Amino acid sequence: MIAKLRCYCYGLLLLGGVLVSPNSGAATTKPQVVNDVIAQQLTAGKLVALGDVHGSPSIVQQLMGFLADPEHWQQVDDIAVEFGNSRYQALADSYIVDGAALELSQVRPIWRDTLYFMAWQYDVYEQLVLQLRHWNQTRTHKVRLVLAEPALDWSSLTAEGWQQQVAAREQGYQQIITQQVLQPKRRGILLFGTFHMMKQPIIMQDGTSFSSLVTLLRQQQAAEIYTIWPRMAGDNVIAQADAPYLLPLANSVLGQQPFSDITRRVSAAESTLLRDVADGYLFLASTERKAPYSQAALSELAWHQELLRRAAVVGQRSGQQIERWVSQHAPAAAQ
């Protein structure tokens, strides 16, 4: 891996902000402004798949920065998210689009009653919901939050049921996005964990072939999707300009790198190139996963008790992680 990375670093020159390959003798791709690229792709009629980094606020903040511009807001109809249980779609529409006078505590089941609820305890997700609600009440055009996780009920969910939901979730995401976004011909941004955004099947580290949400949408719906892969801690990629910026991959030297050089989560035998997995590589200013938790996640004793109940459902490894988190963040009243 070190040898591969060394070759990659030596194979790049930065001339006037342009990435070039000394072997090709021609300029490849310039770093671009992230929001400009998103706007261009939406204008071209594509869905934009924005890979999230759980535990980092950077991607959601990038999305909110894009939507803050009224012109960009006008380009979007739906934000389809991994962090929402579709059982609560009517609640999300009522609160976020219509501005119903509800307490945030009444809305939190949207992201708390999900398969991977621990990933959504960060304050940035609550802020996205609140900001979308605010913009919808102060702007004429309305943008929905499409909850893409198939409906589930935690009050009756068993360990077997949880495993079944996990196994079928990519197909579930695909079906809901097809029904809610593609078939009505709505303009959308997909906000999912990055590994749900790969454009074609990939052999993972355990040797299994994985078809992500974006792969399924492209295969089954012939959807046109522009996929953005964010730089994460551990990615063997060196920035060539001040971040954040986006590097289109189709004609770049970086895009020609084997995907297995970029991340250790895929098999070393995987020969797919990065440009075949994503369309743009987002260089973040920080790859640290230090997003603050929401105050409610930290302080609500009833929620911590529910977490411990669920720990027995999700399996030993995940259950132990939940128990450790609760122990570390136990409300003062419970100590």
211/305 same-domain check: no
Element (H, E) at 305: helix 301-311
Q: Please report, for the domain that includes residue 43, its CATH number.
A: 3.40.50
14-42 mean pLDDT: 64
Helices 316-328, 301-311: crossing angle, 10 deg rounding = 160
- The 10s digit of each residue's pLDDT in 268-310 is 888 999 999 999 999 988 888 999 999 999 999 999 999 999 9
326/227 same-domain check: no
Q: Is residue 224's pLDDT more than 60?
A: yes
> What's the pLDDT band for 28 if we cut at 50, 70, 90?
low
- Angstrom CA distances, 270 to 6, 8, 274, 276, stand at 20, 18, 11, 12
168/317 same-domain check: no
124/140 same-domain check: yes
Number of domains in the chain: 2
- The 10s digit of each residue's pLDDT in 184-211 is 999 999 999 999 999 999 999 999 999 9
Range of the domain at 307: 300-335
191/89 same-domain check: yes
The average confidence (pLDDT) of the chain is: 89
Q: Is residue 316's pLDDT more than 50?
A: yes
305/229 same-domain check: no
- The 10s digit of each residue's pLDDT in 141-158 is 999 999 999 999 999 999
Asked whether residue 325 is assigned to any structural domain, the reply reads: yes
- The 10s digit of each residue's pLDDT in 83-126 is 999 999 999 999 999 999 999 999 999 999 999 999 999 999 99
Compute the half-sphere exposure of residue 223: CA atoms within 13 Å on the CB side of its CA.
34
Specify the pLDDT at position 235. 80
What's the CA gap between 193 and 108, in Å, rounded?
Answer: 20
> What's the pLDDT band for 332 if we cut at 50, 70, 90?
low
Specify the pLDDT at position 240. 73
Asked whether residue 170 is assigned to any structural domain, the reply reads: yes
Task: Please tell me whether residue 323 adopts helix, strand or coil conformation.
Answer: helix
Asked whether residue 1 is assigned to any structural domain, the reply reads: no
321/258 same-domain check: no
What is the CB neighbour count within 10 angstroms for residue 49?
A: 30
54/203 same-domain check: yes
Rounded to 5°, the CA angle 161-163-165 comes to 70
Q: Is residue 11's pLDDT more than 50?
A: no
Q: Is residue 24's pLDDT more than 70?
A: no
133/274 same-domain check: yes
Q: Is residue 212's pLDDT more than 50?
A: yes
81/202 same-domain check: yes
Rounded to two decimals, the pTM is 0.89
- Angstrom CA distances, 216 to 168, 178, 223, stand at 12, 10, 9
Asked whether residue 153 is assigned to any structural domain, the reply reads: yes
Percent of the chain whose pLDDT exceeds 70: 90
Specify the pLDDT at position 232. 86
70/214 same-domain check: yes
Asked whether residue 12 is assigned to any structural domain, the reply reads: no
Asked whether residue 10 is assigned to any structural domain, the reply reads: no
Asked whether residue 13 is assigned to any structural domain, the reply reads: no
Asked whether residue 319 is assigned to any structural domain, the reply reads: yes
Task: Please tell me whether residue 308 adopts helix, strand or coil conformation.
Answer: helix
217/321 same-domain check: no
